[in-house]
A and B are shown apart, each in its own frame.
Chain A
Amino acid sequence: MTAYILRRLLYAVPILIGVNLLTFVLFFVVNSPDDMARMHLGEKRVTEEAVQGWKAAHGYDRPLLYNAEASGMARLTETIFFEKSARLFAFQFGSSDDGRDIGYDISQRMWPSLAIAVPVLLVGLAFNISYALFIVFFRATYVDIGSVVLLVAMLSISSLFYIIGGQFLLSKVFHLAPISGYDTGLHAWKFLILPVIVGVIGGIGAGTRWYRTLFLEEVGKDYVRTARAKGLSERLVLFRHVLGNALIPILTGVVVVLPLLFMGSLITESFFGIPGLGSYTIDAISNQDFAIVRAMVFLGAVLYILGLILTDISYTLVDPRVRLQ
Chain B
Amino acid sequence: MSGTGSSKKGLRGSRLMSALSLLILLSGCGDASWNSPYPATDAVSQTVYSSFDERPKHLDPARSYSVNENVFLAQIYEPPLQYHFLLRPYRLTPLSAVEVPVPSYFDAAGNPLPADAPASEIARSDYLIRIQPGIRFQPHPAFAVDAEGRHRYHALSPSDLTGINRLADFPETGSRELTAEDFVYQIKRLAAPWTHSPIAGLMQQHIRGFQALAEQLATAAGQAPLEQIATLRASSLEGVEALDRYSFRISLTGKYPQFAYWLAMPFFAPMPWEAEVFYAQPGMAERNITLDWYPVGTGPFMLSENNPNLRMVLTRNPHFHGETYPTEGMPGDRESGILDDAGKPLPLIDHAIYSLEKESIPRWNKFLQGYYDSSGISSDAFDQAIQIDSQGEPILTEAMREQGISLLTSVEPSIFYLGFNMLDPVIGGDSPRARLLRRAISIAVDFEEFISIFANGRGLVAQSPIPPGIFGHREGESGINPFVYEWRQGHAVRRSLDEARVLMEQAGYPGGMDRETGRALTINYEAVATGPDDRARLNWIRKQFAKLGIELVIRSTDYNRFQDKLRNGTGQVFMFGWNADYPDPENFLFLLYGPHGKVKYQGENAANYANPEFDRLFDEMKFMEDGPERQAILDRLVEIARTDAPWIWGFHPKAFSLHHQWMHNAHPNQMANNTLKYRRIDPALREQLRHDWNRPILWPLWAGAGLLVLLIVPAWWLVRRRERSTAL
A26 within 8 A of B: no
Report the separation of the CA atoms of residues A155 and B695 in the bound assembly, to the nearest whole angstrom: 33
Complexed CA–CA distance, A244 and B365 (Å): 46
Stretch at the interface among B81-89, B154-162, B173-181, B196-204: B196-204
Complex: A105 Cα to B37 Cα, angstroms? 24
Binary interface encoding of chain B residues 197-217 relative to chain A, with 1 for a CB under 8 A from any of its CBs, else 0: 011111000000000000000
Binds A, one of B350-358, B395-403, B438-446, B508-516: B350-358
What is the bound-complex CA distance between A4 and B201, given in angstroms?
A: 60
Pick out which of these stretches binds chain A: B5-13, B633-641, B717-725: B717-725
Q: Counting CB contacts under 8 A, is A241 at the interface?
A: no
**Could you tell me if B307 and A275 are in contact, using CB atoms closer than 8 angstroms?**
yes
| Interchain CB contact under 8 A, A45 and B201 | yes
Residues on A with C-beta less than 8 A from B357 are: 180, 273
Given A173-B697, A175-B33, A176-B34, A273 and B39 contact (CB-CB distance below 8 Å): no
Q: Which of B36, B66, B285 interacts with A101 by CB under 8 Å?
A: B285
Residues of B at the A interface (CB closer than 8 Å) are 24, 27-29, 33-37, 39, 55, 57-58, 65-66, 165, 193-194, 196, 198-202, 221, 285-288, 290, 292-293, 307, 309-310, 355-359, 361-362, 365-366, 368-369, 558, 560, 563, 581, 602, 604, 694-697, 700-701, 715, 718-719, 722-723
Counting chain A CB atoms within 10 Å of each CB, the highest count among B36, B37, B287, B309 belongs to B309
Contacts of A31 in B (CB 8 A): 560
Which of A43, A99, A143, A186 sits near B285, CB closer than 8 Å?
A99
Q: Are B361 and A164 in contact (CB under 8 A)?
A: yes
Q: Of A6-14, A48-56, A291-299, which binds chain B?
A: A48-56
* Chain A residues, CB < 8 A from B369: 172, 175, 179
Instruction: Identify which of A16-24, A33-41, A73-81, A312-320 touches chain B.
Output: A33-41
Closest A residue to B38 using CB positions: A181
Listed A/B pairs (6) with beta-carbon separation below 8 Å: A35-B563, A44-B65, A50-B196, A108-B309, A167-B365, A174-B697
Q: Is A187's beta carbon under 8 Å from chain B?
A: yes
Q: Which residues of the partner chain A approach B581 to less than 8 Å between Cβ atoms?
A: 44
Residues of B within 8 Å of A173, CB to CB, are 697
- Residues of A174-233 at the interface with B, using a CB-CB cut-off of 8 Å, are 174-182, 186-187, 189-191, 233
Known contacts A138-B718, A175-B33: does B356 contact A273 (CB below 8 Å)? yes
Which of the residues A48, A143, A176 comes within 8 Å of B700, measured between beta carbons? A176
Which residues of B sit under 8 angstroms from A190, Cβ to Cβ? 28-29, 34
Q: In the assembled complex, how far is the CB of residue A134 from the closest CB belonging to chain B, in whole angstroms?
A: 7
Q: Within 8 Å of chain B (Cβ to Cβ): is A62?
A: no
Given contacts A45-B198, A49-B201, A235-B723, contact A101 B287 (CB under 8 A): yes
Cβ–Cβ contact A50 & B198, under 8 A = yes
Q: Which residue of A lies closest to B358 (CB)?
A: A270
Establish whether residues A177 and B361, one from each chain, have CB atoms under 8 Å apart when the complex forms.
no
Contacts of A189 in B (CB 8 A): 24, 28
Q: Is the interface of A mostly helix, strand, loop or mixed?
A: helix
**Separation of A296 and B292 alpha carbons in the complex (Å):** 23
Contact residue among A42, A167, A171, A174 (Cβ-Cβ distance under 8 Å from B198): A42
User: Which 7 residue pairs are nearest across A and B when measured between Cβ atoms?
Assistant: A181-B37, A47-B201, A275-B309, A275-B310, A35-B560, A180-B362, A178-B37
> What residue of chain A has the Cβ atom nearest to residue B695's Cβ?
A175
- Among A99, A182, A235, the residue within 8 A (CB) of B310 is A182
**Docked-complex contact B65 and A179, CB < 8 angstroms:** no
- Docked Cα-Cα span, A298 to B325, in Å, equals 54
A179 and B718 contact, Cβ closer than 8 Å, known pairs A54-B196, A174-B697: no
A199 to B631 alpha-carbon distance, docked (Å): 62
Q: What does the 1/0 interface line of A218-258 toward B look like (CB < 8 Å)?
A: 00000000000000011100000000000000000000000
Name, among B194, B356, B696, B701, the residue most crowded by chain A CB atoms within 10 Å (CB to CB).
Answer: B356
Question: Given A31-B560, A174-B700, A187-B28, are A98 and B287 also a contact pair (CB < 8 Å)?
Answer: no
CB pair A45 B199 closer than 8 Å: yes
State the CA gap A167–B364 with chains docked (Å): 12
With a CB–CB cut-off of 8 A, which chain A residues contact B35? 171, 175-179
Contact A45 B563 (CB under 8 A): no
A153 to chain B, nearest CB (A): 17
Tell me if B722 and A174 are in contact (CB < 8 A): no
A109-B719 in contact (CB<8A):
no
A187: chain B residues within 8 A (beta carbon): 28, 39
CB-based nearest B residue for A172: B365
Complex CA–CA separation, A186 to B28 (angstroms): 8
The closest CB in chain A to the CB of B699 belongs to A174
Contacts of A104 in B (CB 8 A): 165, 286-288
Q: How many A-B residue pairs have CB under 8 A?
A: 157
Kindly list chain A residues whose C-beta atoms are within 8 Å of the C-beta of B718.
138, 143
Q: Which residue of B lies closest to A100 (CB)?
A: B288
Given A104-B288, A167-B361, A175-B694, CB of A30 within 8 Å of CB of B560:
yes
Q: Which of A50, A98, A176, A233 contacts B201 (CB 8 A)?
A: A50
Q: Nearest Cβ distance between residue A197 and chain B, in whole angstroms?
A: 10
Contacts of A59-111 to chain B: CB distance below 8 A:
95, 98-101, 104-105, 108-109
Whether A275 pairs with B356 at a CB distance below 8 angstroms is yes
Contacts A44-B198, A101-B285, A178-B35; A32 near B560 (Cβ below 8 A): yes
Closest A residue, CB atoms, query B58: A98
Tell me whether A178 and B36 are in contact in the complex, defined as CB-CB below 8 angstroms, given that A30-B560, A44-B65, A50-B200 are known contacts: yes
Q: Using A143-B718, A181-B355, A271-B359 as known contacts, list a sample of 15 further A-B pairs with CB atoms less than 8 Å apart, ordered by residue number in A.
A: A30-B558, A41-B196, A42-B65, A45-B201, A99-B288, A164-B361, A167-B361, A169-B700, A174-B696, A176-B701, A179-B366, A180-B37, A182-B310, A235-B723, A271-B358
Whether B194 lies near A57 (C-beta < 8 A) is yes
User: Hey, which chain B residues are within 8 Å of A186, CB to CB?
Assistant: 24, 27-28
Write out the residue numbers on chain B whose beta carbons fall within 8 Å of the beta carbon of A271. 358-359, 361-362
Q: Which of these, B34, B200, B362, B722, contacts A273 with CB under 8 Å?
A: B362
A54 to chain B: which residues have CB within 8 Å?
A: 196
Do A176 and B697 form a contact, CB below 8 Å, given A30-B558, A98-B292, A235-B719? yes
> CB distance B560 to A175 under 8 Å?
no
**Inter-chain contacts of A105 with B (CB < 8 A):** 288
Give every chain A residue within 8 A of B65 (Cβ-Cβ). 42-45
Given A48-B602, A134-B715; A273-B358 close (CB under 8 Å) = yes
- Complex formed: what's the CA distance from A46 to B202 in Å? 9
Residues of A close to B286: CB separation below 8 A: 101, 104
When C-beta atoms are compared, the residue in chain B nearest to A269 turns out to be B358
For A235, list chain B residues within 8 Å (CB): 719, 723
Q: How far is the CB of B476 from chain A (nearest CB, A)?
A: 32
Are A233 and B560 neighbours in the complex by a CB distance under 8 Å? no
Q: How far is the CB of B38 from chain A (nearest CB, A)?
A: 8
Which A residues are in CB contact (< 8 Å) with B558? 30
CB pair A137 B719 closer than 8 Å: yes
Given known A101-B285, A179-B365, A189-B28, contact A109–B201 (CB-CB < 8 A): no
**0 or 1 for each of A115-153: is its CB under 8 Å from B? (1 = yes):** 000000000000000000010011000010000000000
Instruction: For A31, give the chain B residue with the smallest CB separation.
Output: B560
Give every chain A residue within 8 A of B292 (Cβ-Cβ): 98-99
Nearest to A194 among chain B residues (CB) is B35
Most chain B CB inside 10 Å of its own CB: which residue of A40, A47, A287: A47
Residues of B contacting A176 in the complex (Cβ-Cβ under 8 angstroms): 34-35, 696-697, 700-701
Measured CB to CB, the nearest residue on chain A to B25 is A190
List, in ascending order, chain A residues with CB within 8 A of B701's CB. 176
Query: Could you say which residues of chain B place their CB within 8 Å of the CB of A159?
Result: none
Q: How far is the CA of A109 from the CA of B57 in the complex (A)?
A: 18
Q: Does A279 contact B (CB under 8 A)?
A: yes
Q: Which residue of B lies closest to A289 (CB)?
A: B57
Residues of B within 8 A of A270 (CB): 358-359
Nearest chain A residue, comparing its CB with the CB of B65: A42
Tell me the nearest residue of chain B to A46, going by C-beta. Answer: B198
The distance from the CB of B687 to the nearest CB of chain A, in whole angstroms, is 15
Residues of A within 8 Å of B288, CB to CB, are: 99-101, 104-105
In the complex, which residues of chain A have a beta carbon less than 8 angstroms from the beta carbon of B604? Answer: 44-45
- Among residues of A, the one whose C-beta sits closest to the C-beta of B203 is A45
